Amino acid sequence: MPPPLLMGILNVTPDSFSDGGRFRGLEAALDHARLMKEEGADVIDVGGESTRPGAEAVAVEEELARVLPVVERLAIEGLGPVSIDTRKARVMREAAAMGAAMLNDVSALTHDPESLSTAARLGLPVVLMHSLGEPATMQRNPQYEDVIAEVTAALRARRDAAEAAGIPRERIWLDPGIGFGKTRDHNLALLRNLGALKALGCKVLLGASRKRFIAALDRDVPPEARLGGSVAVSIWGARAGADMLRVHDVGATRQALAVWGAIAG
């Protein structure tokens, strides 16, 4: 089994949960992307709207102003492929025109009524992530009867909708949406059962880097002190067959995967 690809996170937002405000200036964002590429990132995921629990939605003009200059420069400087993390069809379109090569939608192409047809027309690979509700309210007491069955069924339905809209299965990535309307135990159950997602026949992306459930297992440490837990999830995800890992700490993740892979043979 080949090691998973690494998607390096580049948040150009003032309020992301772990790195909000750090990479807002264009040059700071480019420097961080360069570092992640050197460390072995296969894809750079640019996001201009925080979707952390409780985050406020961002107007489309503001989101475009944040992401387009970054996407453009990354593409020009050969720092891609670039993925655009957005829930809005217009941002998908304009980012693609600037050189984005992948779409990443935490609403699985449901937030914007135009996004399904836009994604089909653009012909790019697209990540469909599961979320229970909107970021503003999703962590208010999320409940499932059977989290594995429900997340799998929801993603199966979005995969089918994407295919019906003309997006071939080879271009569809599925993501369980760790932390998006899930308690610690929901997240752990989904990680334990990643195979159920793999069975849907699409590539699987896993994004658990620095997320809150890690702190829930270790003294409530802040996001920048969650590297150990993040790496542990990455190794677990690799073993379970994840095809790509969305991470903040590309170098440490790459190293851990290399050592684990060498031992596993």
Catalytic annotation, residues: 211, 246
Q: Which residues pair with 82 in a beta bridge?
A: 44
The span from the first CA to the last CA of the chain, in angstroms, equals: 10
What does the per-residue mask of binding to ligand HH2 show for 217-256, with x meaning CB under 6 A? -----------------------------x----------
String marking each residue 155-184 x if it binds ligand HH2 according to CB under 6 A? --------------------x-xx------
Q: Do 116 and 141 form a contact (C-beta atoms < 8 A)? A: no
Question: x-or-dash pattern for ligand HH2, window 8-47, by CB under 6 A?
Answer: -x-x-x--xxx----------------------------x
Mapped onto helix, strand or coil, the DSSP state of residue 105 is strand
Contacts (Cβ under 8 Å, ≥6 apart) of 153: none
Regarding 257 and contact with ligand HH2 (CB under 6 A), the answer is no
Shortest Å distance, C-beta 226 to ligand HH2: 11
CA distance 199 to 194: 9
Q: Does 131 help bind ligand HH2 (rule: CB under 6 A)?
A: no
* Residue 129 interacts with ligand HH2 (CB under 6 A): yes or no: yes
The whole-angstrom separation of Cα 216 and Cα 264 is 29
What does the alpha-carbon distance between residue 241 and residue 205 come to, in Å, rounded to a whole number?
10
Number of residues that bind ligand HH2 (CB under 6 A): 21
User: Distance between CA atoms of 206 and 178, rounded to whole angstroms?
Assistant: 8
The residue at minimum Cβ distance from ligand HH2 is 207
* Interface with ligand HH2 (CB under 6 A): 9, 11, 13, 16-18, 47, 50-52, 85, 104, 106, 127, 129, 175, 177-178, 205, 207, 246
